Amino acid sequence: MPLTQRCFQCLTAVRNRRVKLLLNPAVTRCCSTVQGDVRVRFAPSPTGFLHLGGLRTALYNYIFAKKYGGSFVLRLEDTDQSRLVSGAAESIEDMLEWAGVPPDESPRRGGSVGPYLQSQRLDLYNQTAQELLESNHAYYCFCSSQRLSLLKKEALRTGQTPRYDNRCRHLRAEQVQEKLAQGVPHVIRFRLEAGVEPFQDLIFGWNHHEVAQVEGDPVVIKADGFPTYHLANIVDDHYMMISHVLRGSEWLISTSKHLLMYRALGWQPPTFGHLPLLMNKDGSKLSKRQGDIFIQSYKRDGVLPEALLDITTNCGSGFNTNRIGRRIDELISEFNPSKITTHSALLDLEKLPEFNRIHLQHRIEDEEQCHLLIKDLQAQIQQACTAEIQEEEVLHEDYIRRVLHLRKGHISSLTELVSPAYSYLWVRPSVSSHQVAALTAEAQHIASLVLKLIAERGEELAVDPLSKDLKTLAKQTKATKHREVMKLLRLALSGLQVPEDILDPNQITQKINKRRLFS
């Protein structure tokens, strides 16, 4: 389908507290034509905690709002009372704020079109359902759960897709009134009709689903008086003046159903854009049952929020460039909705440490953020090894700043610096004479040479001169080669015997500057 046929529905004036949308076929899929008030929403259900897929949806909505000077609304769809998870509602907003995508309006922040919890808007949904009943676009359904279960079992037995048979839409008015008077449990169903108009999705282009041919009439008010998603989301989007609905592509097939409800109520629908799903790198579904995809777990493990935002956009589409290291202001400036593709975004979480390494380096190089890192690392050091610390200077801000700048680009998180591999930075290592003797019999001679070198160079030690000096020093031994001299220094300064770059010349310089040599 030509790109020019996949144009935006541009915003015009706000009238009667609603944003009117017009289709302009001459406009390509480019948001530079967006006019008027842009209002988008993220509407998760607090039946669980925020995970990567939800964060990505929220992020695209946030970026869209900020790109076009609009508002980002958080609405919690808590109408499924049986599945609510304690603390999830508060945690969702906490994690959005931690991630750097705070809502402009929310249950916590408030706003002019609240309340932002659906459970506090029940009167509005029931009022709308009554309007649908009065206009004959909805009807009472008295079918028992047992009957519905039998319908489903029979459909599965015959290889058909389970669907309601619309039995109660044919009840006479007097039959309905009699059952209501008897207090028979009931729901309210929306009457699906043929003749759904095609709609233009910002990402998937023109779509058309004759839902009446494949689905039974959907429930809009449940027996407990709470609305289903299908009714509540359109009511809220209408009264909250949402201009664009950006949600996961799993809702694409339901949009025609929602447009029938908009038409039945005489409301102008928002512009829809369905985002391709976030998947594992092998193409499998990113399941909420994977404990490591919840944002809380990443925060706990020291992952930086900007690294999460970067990796979830880097694996997808919708930006003018595709590079590692973008921060939120760059994501907003480079955002281009016309570049969002329809194929799924494959997330490779094995690359997350690399993203975190780059963003940690950015923080270290920023003076204000580096100060916050220092405070964080001070607390981690005290918690990890307070009892073993012999020198208080390791907790001083200047020393920790030097460590951070020394290791920037090498570490992926602050937690690495309090791991056993880096404990020598905070705790004087314990080295046995047996370990030293296993490397060379000239340990004392080498120690005296190094101490002499320190005395001669004073505080002017630097990496390149020191490397040269240590090579010269090694020539003054009888049987110890330069390689063994370096091993000995690593052991004495860190307690580590591995030859890899766990203690490179930069670190040896720093440790010698601190005079941490064998006694």
Active site residues: 288
DSSP label at residue 255: H
User: How far is the C-alpha of 260 from the C-alpha of 250, rounded, in Å?
Assistant: 18
Are 310 and 304 contacting, i.e. CB atoms less than 8 angstroms apart? no
- Cβ–Cβ < 8 Å for 128, 134: no
Beta strands in 235-333 (DSSP E): 244-248, 271-275, 278-280
Strand partners, 18: 15
Structure tokens at 276: 């391709």
The amino acid sitting at 284 is S
Q: Which of 301, 397, 415, 279 is nearest to 349 (CA)?
A: 279
Distance CA 494, CA 423 (A): 8
Amino acid at 17: R
Residues ≥6 apart with Cβ < 8 Å to 254: 211, 230
- What letter would DSSP give residue 103? -
How many Cα atoms sit within 13 Å of 310 on the Cβ side? 22
Contact 51, 280 (CB under 8 A): no
Long-range contacts of 483-489 (CB under 8 A, 24+ apart): 484/439, 484/440, 485/440, 485/446, 487/439, 488/436, 488/439, 488/440, 488/443, 488/446, 489/450
Question: Phi/psi at 227 (nearest 5 deg)?
Answer: -80, 160
> Under 8 Å CB-to-CB from 118, ≥6 apart: which residues?
75, 76, 77, 78, 79, 125, 227, 232, 236
User: What would the two tokens of residue 408 be?
Assistant: 């920037």
Distance CA 211, CA 166 (A): 13
Question: Residue 453: which residues within 8 A CB-CB, separation 6 or more?
Answer: 469, 473
Question: How many C-beta neighbours within 10 Å does residue 471 have?
Answer: 12
